[in-house]
Amino acid sequence: MGGIIKTADWQEMTTALEASPLGPLLNNIVRSHRPLQKAGSVPANIPFLAEVPFDKFGIAVATTSGQVYRSGDADVPFSIQSISKVFTLAMALQGDPAGRLWSRVLREPSGTAFNSLVQLEVEHGVPRNPFINAGALVVTDHLMEGTPDAAKQLLRFLTAEAGSSGPFINEEAASSELLGSNRNLALAHFLKDFGNLKQTAQSVVQNYVRQCSIMMTCVELAQAGLFLAREGRGRLGRILSPSDAKRIGSIMLTCGMYDAAGEFAYRVGLPGKSGVGGGILVIVPGVCSICVWSPRLDAKGNSLAGTAALADLSDRTGWSVF
Amino acid sequence: MGGIIKTADWQEMTTALEASPLGPLLNNIVRSHRPLQKAGSVPANIPFLAEVPFDKFGIAVATTSGQVYRSGDADVPFSIQSISKVFTLAMALQGDPAGRLWSRVLREPSGTAFNSLVQLEVEHGVPRNPFINAGALVVTDHLMEGTPDAAKQLLRFLTAEAGSSGPFINEEAASSELLGSNRNLALAHFLKDFGNLKQTAQSVVQNYVRQCSIMMTCVELAQAGLFLAREGRGRLGRILSPSDAKRIGSIMLTCGMYDAAGEFAYRVGLPGKSGVGGGILVIVPGVCSICVWSPRLDAKGNSLAGTAALADLSDRTGWSVF
Amino acid sequence: MGGIIKTADWQEMTTALEASPLGPLLNNIVRSHRPLQKAGSVPANIPFLAEVPFDKFGIAVATTSGQVYRSGDADVPFSIQSISKVFTLAMALQGDPAGRLWSRVLREPSGTAFNSLVQLEVEHGVPRNPFINAGALVVTDHLMEGTPDAAKQLLRFLTAEAGSSGPFINEEAASSELLGSNRNLALAHFLKDFGNLKQTAQSVVQNYVRQCSIMMTCVELAQAGLFLAREGRGRLGRILSPSDAKRIGSIMLTCGMYDAAGEFAYRVGLPGKSGVGGGILVIVPGVCSICVWSPRLDAKGNSLAGTAALADLSDRTGWSVF
Amino acid sequence: MGGIIKTADWQEMTTALEASPLGPLLNNIVRSHRPLQKAGSVPANIPFLAEVPFDKFGIAVATTSGQVYRSGDADVPFSIQSISKVFTLAMALQGDPAGRLWSRVLREPSGTAFNSLVQLEVEHGVPRNPFINAGALVVTDHLMEGTPDAAKQLLRFLTAEAGSSGPFINEEAASSELLGSNRNLALAHFLKDFGNLKQTAQSVVQNYVRQCSIMMTCVELAQAGLFLAREGRGRLGRILSPSDAKRIGSIMLTCGMYDAAGEFAYRVGLPGKSGVGGGILVIVPGVCSICVWSPRLDAKGNSLAGTAALADLSDRTGWSVF
């Protein structure tokens, strides 16, 4: 950066954090938000997600100073689904200093459902952002140019950054999910028709579904995402430039929660990315990375208990970018 | 707030600010970004905006510690246009502790042009957010319930917060702009048809246009917007609760730049609101409020030189919420 | 035409008609289709239409050879509503040999609701056809250029062609309907914004609503529409060229029944135009003009009993253009 | 039908036809409309169509009394493309007395391009009519339930009705066209996602493309379509009930010319179906079936010279359903 004025003093904040009763607070959050009865929904087209017990609830916080706080089912692996999009975007930007990706996908909120084909038709095959499905398919296609098995590459990235050998691709779940992927296949063929896909539609969707089927715990995801709170510096060295790290934060804030990005920014005030597996990854720039998980979803496809828990946590810690 | 952990230490930051060479930096920004030739466009339906010289460029920064920095045409009044929407929203929330307004307008990015009727039809008359025209008309209607001359009320608010008797309604410009307001009249009648307008369509549009026709300088606007950087505390006392102030910031970030909100968040990383008069108001939470002005617009309706200047300023100061 | 081959021998057909038991058939149609209980709906935004007894049912057939057959409430005046669009289009074409109107309105089915603004935005202010509301407003605007009181002009036309002094503008109903015309005002202002309206939006909508509020009986409407079955020849002389008369028929067939034009063409197979007052005017080219009326509407806004009666009549007479 | 009144006297008309100078008229049409220079376009995604010489022009008329008139390149085989949709619909209705197909596809004009996904999303996977691509894929899927090789079945049907062994599937062209079928694959996967496709998306598109790749001459197509002018009676016996035959006519008139159905009804006034191979099949109920072919297309995808020739022919013969 080299900015002449700093907005945040990490040292000051992480000191506050260490002294803070964050452990007890997370326990309290778990007690308040763990679902007591079946509410919300599970995605109709991914059968195995329906089998996860409705009362699972976990939360983990990884701080920029190296602490990890956890509570509830923070060590139970779940399907990361669309949270993978944050990491594939980071990987794509890593290998793309010239920004070629940005000629194939925009950075604007979509105002429509994550799997809508309407906007794609109106905008002639250029997806609105990398976090709607059409955009993520383009990112996957971009990655596959360099590494055909982009899902395996993502797994290596996540394993390294999580500092854990826990993450794995649930290949059986992926095969099952692929059977319900007609909407994604429609999007992929549509992109192909517009000339915005280089691999075959089938192979891109298959790879994308395998990325979504990676299983991780809250603790692992919070740690893997920490580089976004650390201006791009990962566990083993720089992953992204500070400006690219910030920019992923901005895309998370404006586009990360499907068609509820505005509502989430309003209630939580932090960059976040959710998945239909019930996980949400949230970044507090300069402070920490948070992962919350509870499987039941609201009408927009975001974790019901997870969103409520993050709003509560934001209120009680003052964490907000605004 | 009462948060157990703080994200920002204002004292620390404003100290940095006072010591900073902000004045010279602004001068440098003006030198770099003042347009040398006619580029960009002016709004076709507001004739008097076309008459403003293309090479006008001003910038002002009002800090939370009370300093004001200015450079270029920072004391030349211009038409605030849609920047008014930030202030009418604040006024509406001020008088609406029960949040009735939020049943009439959403808080999501729109993904379409600011004056589109399409989404309004699809969403049955509930505008996507208060910063697209349809949403601002609902906010105006809400204000007019309490005070029929909401534009005059807005002027009083702006005068008080700017600490200046300078702001005025350019009634002649408003009358002229009203003649080109068929799109807004269409939106208003459409809202009325959906039962989401209490006053007549005609009176709401008329009042809205008068709000847009308020003339202010960069310095005045920066000062008037400072309460958003001060957790809701205005010149004369609290205007909004800290959480409402933050929430306006979140709506600015996700919806403040027409259909370029994502791009602006990506390049500048700060909550902003632009107007087709060429002004942009930007908030650095806890630090300062910035107003930049240059009349020529890009394809999305945002000041061409203003946006570039803010991206530059953000890079050089490190100011970003991400 | 001067065509070398004729598709229909009127003499032969009208002979058949005169010998036919058409009177008893119409009586039978009335017995079979007069509603026995309240089913269907009435338009929410036009209160006075809700007061018409649900069990009204009338039918009239005016033949090209001069006979008139009637049954049921064929002499009860009702609000012609959108059936007026057929006649205003004819009047507009009458005074427009150069076809200037067709640069302002298309002739394609719309595929959306009759009062949708979506397609108008996508197609930049050029309505899809003269029978959706936006298109009818353009036709009205076109007529008002020559005769400011186009509604009165329409009344004169209808009175002359109906051969009856019965038709009148229900001015009280028009005033009441105008209060619920926000959607039409939205459309008109939208058209104005696109430069496709010359008069004020207010005056065009007012005139349009008065056209819709004309009261006529089935017998009067069947007679007034007869020129369309007679290649453009009206009671007092030629109204339209044969080709313009045919072309109105083609627009009726493809666009005359709101978003159920295809279904009506499929079931009835004749050019028709319905109104939310419950009337439907149908043309059997070379043979006769039919008007049926029953006030309750189906989900698409067409008379429930009227549509069923016409399908029955078409089956039993073999009348169909296909 | 058993109608008490007849709209057309075939005997009278076909007599007129036999006496008519139809042969010379067709020669004249060919002289007037055969393209003298390259104008119009060829479909970008079907390379082999681009190779057809631009100046090809043929026309054939098969009358209900058994005559066949031809002129120009009326015996040159061309790719029937979407004209196949008329025949697959007839075959589907033939085997579907209960009308199950109509729960899967509507009969309304679409108001959007033939390959648009937008309306399909808005209407939840039920295509607007059988002649847009999405609808034709549903019809193909319906046929494949009974006969997996529906394209071969169609070929048999066409061969029998054309009374010629000429028609053949251009399998090489089909394979090539399949490579450019991403839009159709997107539609098929989208339909599958909505549960409106029983076979695999891949197999339905493959079969559909083979149907489109059938090669026939104008004479063969005119003869094959004659049953639609003969109330459903084909060469070897009844194919459809009179009402189903009429109904296909109504769908052709309202939906047969892509997004120019209204314009074609207006100019030509006859039920027609075009294909991007440059052919147009037109029905004059009770009189004849017409096929015209010229390879270059207008902006809506209909044969440029073919449409003009049919408008001319309609004017000069008086053939029109209106």
Burial class (CB in 10 A: 0-12, 13-18, 19+), D53: exposed
The letter for the amino acid at B133 is N
Q: Model pTM?
A: 0.90
Active-site residue identified among D61, D69, D85, D282: D85
Q: How far apart are CA C222 and CA C60, in angstroms?
A: 6
Q: For chain C, what are the domain ranges?
A: 10-317
- What CATH code is assigned to B10-317? 3.40.710.10
pLDDT of residue D97: 84
- The mean pLDDT value for C14-39 works out to 83
Interchain contact, B186 vs C182, CB within 8 Å: no
pLDDT of residue C8: 44
Residues of B with catalytic annotation?
82, 85, 208, 258, 276
Say if residue C10's pLDDT is above 50: no
Say if residue B285's pLDDT is above 80: yes
Q: Chain A: nearest CA to D261, how far in angstroms? A: 22
**Residue A192 catalytic?**
no
pLDDT of residue B87: 98
Chain C adjacent subunits, 3+ CB pairs under 8 A: B, D
- Out of A6, A112, A249, name the one closest to residue B111 (CB): A112
Question: How sure is the predictor about C219, in pLDDT bands with cuts at 50, 70 and 90?
Answer: very high
Specify whether the CB–CB gap between A103 and A150 falls below 8 A: no
The letter for the amino acid at B5 is I
- Best of C133, C185, C192 to disrupt the B interface by mutation (most B CBs within 10 Å)? C185
- The mean pLDDT value for C70-88 works out to 98
The letter for the amino acid at A116 is S
Pairing of strands D288-293, A279-284: unpaired
Specify whether the CB–CB gap between D84 and D209 falls below 8 A: no
- Best of D124, D177, D182, D205 to disrupt the A interface by mutation (most A CBs within 10 Å)? D182
Q: Picking from B50-54, B183-187, C13-17, D295-299, which range would have the lowest pLDDT averaged per residue?
A: C13-17
pLDDT of residue A11: 47
Question: How sure is the predictor about B4, in pLDDT bands with cuts at 50, 70 and 90?
Answer: very low
Question: How sure is the predictor about B95, in pLDDT bands with cuts at 50, 70 and 90?
Answer: confident
Q: What HEC string does chain B produce?
A: CCCCCCCCCHHHHHHHHHHCCHHHHHHHHHHHHCCCCCCCECCCCCHHHHHCCCCCCEEEEEECCCCEEEEECCCCCEECHHHHHHHHHHHHHHCCCCCHHHHCCCCCCCCCCCCCCHHHHHCCCCCCCCCCHHHHHHHHHHHHHHCCCHHHHHHHHHHHHHCCCCCEECHHHHHHHHHCCHHHHHHHHHHHHCCCCCCCHHHHHHHHHHHHCEEECHHHHHHHCHHHCCCCEECCEECCCHHHHHHHHHHHHHHCCHHHHHHHHHHCCCCEEECCCCEEEEEECCCEEEEEECCCECCCCCEHHHHHHHHHHHHHHCCCCC
pLDDT of residue A109: 87
Kindly list the residues from chain D whose CB atom is less than 8 angstroms away from the CB atom of residue A185. 185-186, 189, 201
- The mean pLDDT value for C140-156 works out to 97
Count the Cβ atoms, other than its own, within 10 Å of residue C168.
14
Each residue's pLDDT tens digit in chain A (322 positions)? Answer: 333 333 444 444 444 555 568 999 999 999 999 999 999 999 888 888 999 999 999 999 999 999 999 999 999 999 999 999 999 999 999 988 888 999 999 998 887 766 677 778 878 899 999 999 999 999 999 999 999 999 999 999 999 999 999 999 999 999 999 999 999 999 999 999 999 999 999 999 999 999 999 999 999 999 999 999 999 999 989 999 999 999 999 999 999 998 899 999 999 999 999 999 999 999 999 999 999 999 999 999 999 999 999 999 999 999 999 9
The average confidence (pLDDT) of chain C is 91
- The mean pLDDT value for B300-319 works out to 95
The average confidence (pLDDT) of chain D is 91
Kindly list the residues from chain D whose CB atom is less than 8 angstroms away from the CB atom of residue A122. 118
- The mean pLDDT value for D166-185 works out to 95
- Out of D117, D121, D182, name the one closest to residue A192 (CB): D182
pLDDT of residue B17: 57
pLDDT tens-digit map of B6-30? 344 444 444 455 556 899 999 999 9
The average confidence (pLDDT) of chain B is 91
Q: Return the higher-pLDDT residue of D111 and D316.
A: D316
Q: Which residues of A touch D (CB under 8 A)?
A: 45, 116-118, 121-122, 182-183, 185-190, 192-193, 201
**pLDDT > 70 fraction of chain D, expressed in percent and rounded:** 92
- Measured between alpha carbons, how far is residue A226 from residues A102, A270, A283 in Å? 24, 14, 8
**Residue A266 catalytic?**
no
Q: Picking from C191-205, D119-133, D219-233, which range would have the lowest pLDDT averaged per residue?
A: D119-133
pLDDT of residue C17: 57
Specify whether the CB–CB gap between B142 and B150 falls below 8 A: no
The single-letter DSSP state of residue D125 is T
Q: Return the higher-pLDDT residue of C18 and B244.
A: B244
Here the ipTM equals: 0.88
**Residue C258 catalytic?**
yes
- Please choose, from the candidates C298, C295, C310, C314, the residue with its C-alpha nearest in 3D space to the C-alpha of residue C73: C295
Interchain contact, B201 vs C187, CB within 8 Å: no
**Residue D266 catalytic?**
no
pLDDT of residue D19: 58
- Best of A241, A266, A288 to disrupt the B interface by mutation (most B CBs within 10 Å)? A266
pLDDT tens-digit map of B139-172? 999 999 999 999 999 999 999 999 999 999 999 9
Give the residue from chain A lying closest to D181, CA to CA: A193
- Out of D8, D21, D249, name the one closest to residue C4 (CB): D21
**pLDDT > 70 fraction of chain C, expressed in percent and rounded:** 92
pLDDT tens-digit map of D41-79? 998 888 889 999 999 999 999 999 999 999 999 999 999
- Out of D250, D266, D317, name the one closest to residue C3 (CB): D317
pLDDT of residue A2: 30
Q: How far apart are CA A59 and CA D178, in angstroms?
A: 49
